Amino acid sequence: MNKKIKWGILSTGHISNKFAKALAILPQAKLIAVASRNLSKAKAFAKEHNVIKAYASYKELAEDHEIDVVYIGTPHSFHFDDSVLCMRNGKAVLCEKAFTINADEAREMVRIAREENVFLMEAMIPRHIPLLKKVMQWIKDGKIGEVRMLKASRCARGVFAAGARHLDPSLGGGSLLDVGVYVISFASQIFGKAPIEAIGLSHIGHLGSDEQGIAILKYDKGELADLSFALRTNAVDEAYILGTEGCIKIHEVFAVPTKASLFIDNLEVETLEEPIIGNALNYEAEEVMRCLQKGLKESALMPLDESIEIMEVMDTIRKPWALRYPNDKE
């Protein structure tokens, strides 16, 4: 039988709590340590999630020899530093989306993973959702012919506490990196290549970050993606994959869906339904552990070069916007 994989969680915010709950339902996972910038927060998290070790610094967690893999749940602006800290200490890393702030950081992070010969993966949930895997099979089977267009939306009107990371440019806040990354990553998955053109418009709100945006991507054979993303605007978050012979609708919420429909000539001819088990983060944790058990250094479901390409597309889209992050070189 495969040995248990020992996890550490770096930071104690919203998504780290969800990730701890996800690990709790996986028999092959053991969450053994958590770190916070603040010992009392680490201890409270450890108590709630039944974790043995609570550290008062991320460095102590990175240096713990017992840990196999670290989950990075800090704001985007720290993904590079926190992932590198862990990888330089020989740890495998699952890093939250957006992978980094910009493509420069992404390229360097991947270079370091390869230099250290450690596993690294961007935590992009949709890649691991069972229903979306079946949708990808529909496409491979030619059910909609040649894929020509994609329309996808990832929008919500969030209620954020004062100082929350979501719209704070100093923490990489804004809709493009926070939720736009889902639709851009989805376009990359559907078309299986990088776009030849990427343009976008956004509204920069009073906090100095993009509250909503639209991106259009064009691919080498004329394929197009029409993508919307927002943190302060309501929407029905569906996706439509349009082909020469038919169309696939992924019902709300497209990033974590349970239903997809196949339309031929505007008639629904097939439906897929598949429940989400757990809180969905368990699927990506399972993929990490599958890769670690096999000695793989990256996952074919979210390849590292593709994570870099996605950051390059987002850099291109936001270049004309009045939006620069502290981590940007120019």
Query: In this structure, are residues 288 and 132 in contact, taking their beta carbons and an 8 Å threshold?
Result: no
Residues in the interface with ligand NAP (CB under 6 A) total: 21
What mask of x and - would describe binding to ligand NAP in positions 37 to 66, judged by CB under 6 A?
A: xx--x-------------------------
CA angle 56, 59, 61 (to 5 degrees): 70
Radius of gyration of the chain (CA): 20
What mask of x and - would describe binding to ligand NAP in positions 172 to 191, judged by CB under 6 A?
A: ------x-------------
Q: What minimum distance in Å lies between the beta carbon of 11 and ligand NAP? A: 4
Query: In this structure, are residues 159 and 286 in contact, taking their beta carbons and an 8 Å threshold?
Result: no
Contact region for ligand NAP (CB under 6 A) — 6-14, 104-112, 207-215, 257-265? 6-14
Toward ligand NAP, which CB reaches closer, 4 or 18?
18
Q: From CA 195, how far away is CA 186, in angstroms rounded?
A: 12
Q: Does 11 bind ligand NAP (CB under 6 A)?
A: yes
Of positions 49, 91, 143, 165, contacts ligand NAP by CB under 6 A: 165
Structure tokens at 315: 């850099």
Question: Which one, of 59, 248, 66, lies nearest residue 147 by Cα?
Answer: 248
Contact region for ligand NAP (CB under 6 A) — 36-44, 209-217, 243-251, 314-322? 36-44
Toward ligand NAP, which CB reaches closer, 98 or 187?
98
DSSP per-residue letters across 216-256:
EEE-TTS-EEEEEEESBS-----EEEEESS-EEEEPSSTTS
**Which residue sits closest to ligand NAP, CB atoms considered?**
13
Q: Does 14 bind ligand NAP (CB under 6 A)?
A: yes
Q: Does 76 bind ligand NAP (CB under 6 A)?
A: yes
Of positions 83, 94, 96, 209, contacts ligand NAP by CB under 6 A: 96
Toward ligand NAP, which CB reaches closer, 11 or 228?
11
DSSP per-residue letters across 147-215:
EEEEEEEEE-B----TT-GGG-GGGT-SHIIIIIHHHHHHHHHHH-S--SEEEEEEEE-TTSSEEEEEE
Question: Which one, of 258, 11, 280, lies nearest residue 135 by Cα?
Answer: 258
Q: What minimum distance in Å lies between the beta carbon of 96 and ligand NAP? A: 4
Helix axes 14-24, 281-294, angle to 10 degrees: 60
Of positions 8, 73, 180, 257, contacts ligand NAP by CB under 6 A: 73
Q: From CA 142, how far away is CA 164, in angstroms rounded?
A: 44
What mask of x and - would describe binding to ligand NAP in positions 109 to 128, judged by CB under 6 A?
A: --------------x-x---
Which spans of this chain sit near ligand NAP (rule: CB under 6 A)?
A: 11-15, 36-38, 41, 73-76, 78, 96-97, 123, 125, 165, 171, 178
